[in-house]
Structure formats: C-alpha cells, structure tokens
Amino acid sequence: MRLTTVRLSRRAVLRGSAAAATGLAASAFSISPRAWPGEDSGTGPEGLQQALDGLVGTAADPADQPVAALGMVRDGGELWRGAAGYADRDAQRLAHPAIDYRFRIGSATKTFTATIVLQLVGEGRIGLDDPIGRQLPGLVPGEDRITVRSLLNMTSGLPDFLPILLPSLRHGISSYEEYRRASFRPIEPRDVIGQAVAAGPRFEAGTAFDYSTTNYLVLGLLIEQVTGRPYRTVLHHRIIRRLRLLQTDLPAGPALRPPYLHGYAHFHDLAEQWTDVTRRFEPGWSGGGMVSTLADLSRFFSALLSGDLLRPDLLDAMTTTSGAPPAASGAPPGAPDGGTYGLGLQRDDRSLRHPTWGHGGDTHGYNNRVHTTADGAAQLLAATTGFPARTPRHGPPYEPFIDAAFAAIGS
C-alpha cells in the first residue's frame, strides 16, 4: 500500500459542513493523487472513508448504527486516518480526523495487563505455570490447579462476571437498572471476583476455553501482590510512561479528560434512543477499565509486537494459542477461541499477506479493535460509539471498515 502525508482538505471541510446541515456527520483526511495500488477498485483512501461513513447512523435509524466511527491504517511510515459521525451527539459536534479522541477501550486493557504479567515472568518473579494460590491464597476455587498461564489464555474455568452484573447483555441488549447498579459507584475487584466465582468454576482448569474478564481481574491483583504497588501505578511505570502514551490511563474516577468521544448506549427499559454513558465507573479494572486513543493504541501494539516490551521467548509465549475446545457453542464469528487466543492477544487469519495480532474491546458506549502484523509494521484500528444498539448486532459494527482496511494493505 502507498499512503501519503495527510492533511485536512477543503473538500473534507465542505463535506463535513454539508453533513452537519443534513444531520449526517462525516469527515476525512485528504490523500494526494499519487496514492496506492487498489485505489481504482475502491480499496484506496476514498474506499476507506466510504466504509467509515457507512457505519454511522442516520436520522431515520438513530439507535441501530454507531454514533461515531474512527479509523486508522498504518503501513510502515505511511498513515491514513478518518472520522465519521458525532463526537458529541447532543451538542451536534462532528468527529474530526485530526483530533486524537480518548475513548474507553474495554477489553483491549487485557493486552496491557498480560504484558506486565509476562514482564514479571521475565524477571523471575512469577512463573507461567505457577498456581495462582501460591500468590493469592483463598481468592478463587481451584487455586491449586489454576495457573497464571490458564488465566492469561482463558482456560481457567473461572466464570465471567459480566453476565452476573449485567445479565441482559447475554441477549445483546442492556438494562439501565443493571448498568446503574454496576457503574454508578466503584466496586472493588475482589468483590467482583467473589460474585463471579460464588457458584464455582465452569470446568476444570486447562480443559476448555471460555472468554472471561474475571481472569484478568485476578491477574491485576497478582500484579499488585508481586510488585507491592497499585496496578495503576505499575501500568504507568512499565508501559504508559515508557512509551509516552500521554492520552492513556486507568481513570480513578468516572470522568474522561478531553478531548473524548461521548459513549452512547440503548437501554430497553428507557424511552430514549441513545443514553450518554461516558461518565461512569468501570468494574472491568485491569480487564477492561482503561481509556486510550487510536494513536496511543497504535504505539503500544506496535512496540509490543516489534519486541520493545518483551523478550523474544515471552513474545512467542504470548502468541501461542492453547488450542482448547470451547466451553460452549454459539460464539459469534471472529470471537476469541482456543485456536486464535494467546496470552492476551488474538490472532486474525483473514489476511492472505500475513496474520495479524491484536485485541478488541466492547464496553457500554464503545467498541474498538486493533490489528497489527507480527513485526509491528502495519496496523488497522477502528473505534465506534453506540453499544449496545436497539437491535442486537451480528458481529462488531466496525467490521466493514476493517474488511476495507485489510484490502487496502494488500491482503
């Protein structure tokens, strides 16, 4: 792919102004005519922006499509960024591609946590096959059989806390009352874990795969136990400050620092089309509580996969999948499984050029996804707002853009 230096064009400004007048918001970076292979076939910059524009909702269907969509494609030193929709729907403020908005990244937090755990493994402070009860006795049932590795690769058997705190999400919809109870005050990680494991494990550790954020809350407590420092402090010391991820944090309170994308959710027990859910406490903590931007996520995943944060043997371990069978059938296409999920990283094989590694995140108000090649040289990133929607979706809302981006980098 050939991408060129980006700048905001007059055409994009005019298009954004027209969109604002009609209630459809879209903006894009301009790419000069000396662009890249595939432009004529719709996989060039215009095709990327069209894919992004196609994600956002319209006045006729406001609660079924994302409110905003951001996209980023990087191949070596070349970069494309685009935006569509509203950064703030209530204020009718358009999303702008030149602004690096903060947003809640949900489960993409897990890759940060897994990286810290593997750094501690590299320092000899813990072992991948150590039972979790060695460091955290009495925290979870089966502590002598659940290893650090099984927590990282989702084969521990610990139940996910999300269906317990937010049971309606199992059906692809959301209850405002459930959301309010889970998000309007901070909940201690140990309390969340206690609720999740009260009924015991789903299966014997190591025998099946089940995606569970509870695993990563346990790993957050493990990091605190081993280092003697709060998880947030360790996160800043080992990753955020080291890589100068200036827009990334694990917020201690409910607010986000501007500039940020407002997050929106549809609740089946409220009349509103969209409810702003930006301000809240995140029970996901070390498994889903972080805030970041596309640029910071790009920098982190590129540094990780190019070997700047882990030794080669530990990065190999991180990209080794368990092969464990699923604990239950019916997972949506593209969902993590034992064949694609390593230690906090998920592989995607849709590219014919080479597989990518990354992670996604779905949390009230926000969806995002990062794909990075094994050498960290090429990346596809997307973020949308508007989750859950009024009608349950079949797959993440950003997938049409990701498909266009894979085509753009020569898959």
Number of domains in the chain: 2
The structure tokens listed for 106 are 């949900």
Could you tell me where the DSSP H helices lie in 131-279? Answer: 148-152, 162-165, 176-183, 189-197, 214-227, 231-235, 241-243
Biggest CA-to-CA distance, the chain: 63
Residue 238 lies in a domain: yes
Residue 222, phi then psi, degrees to nearest 5: -60, -45
Residues 273 and 319 in one domain: yes
> 209-228 burial string, b = 16+ CB within 10 Å, else e?
bbbbbbbbbbbbbbbbebbe
Residues 277 and 137 in one domain: yes
Give the tens place of pLDDT for each residue, 292-349: 999 999 999 999 999 999 999 999 999 999 999 999 866 666 789 999 999 999 999 8
Q: Are 80 and 45 in contact (CB under 8 A)?
A: yes
Residue 311 lies in a domain: yes
**Confidence band (pLDDT; 50, 70, 90) for 61?**
low
The pLDDT value given to residue 60:
55
DSSP 347-396: EE---SS--EEEEEEEETTEEEEEEEETTS-EEEEEEEE--S-SS--SS-
Q: Are 332 and 390 in contact (CB under 8 A)?
A: no
Residues 95 and 107 in one domain: no
What dihedral angle (degrees, nearest 10) is formed by the CA atoms of 11, 14, 15, 16? 120
Q: Which residue has the higher pLDDT, 8 or 157?
A: 157
Worst-scoring range by mean pLDDT, 170-179, 339-348, 378-387, 396-405?
170-179
What is the spatial distance between Cα 323 and Cα 332, in angstroms, rounded to a whole number? Answer: 18
Residue 360, phi then psi, degrees to nearest 5: -120, 170
Q: Are 375 and 305 in contact (CB under 8 A)?
A: yes
Residues 145 and 13 in one domain: no
The pLDDT value given to residue 64:
79
Give the tens place of pLDDT for each residue, 239-260: 999 999 999 999 999 999 999 9
Q: Is the pLDDT of residue 377 over 70?
A: yes
The pLDDT value given to residue 282:
95
Q: Are 375 and 301 in contact (CB under 8 A)?
A: no
Q: Which residue has the higher pLDDT, 74 or 45?
A: 74
Residues 32 and 8 in one domain: yes
Structural domain range at position 347: 103-355
Q: Is the pLDDT of residue 39 over 50?
A: no
The pLDDT value given to residue 63:
67
**Confidence band (pLDDT; 50, 70, 90) for 396?**
confident
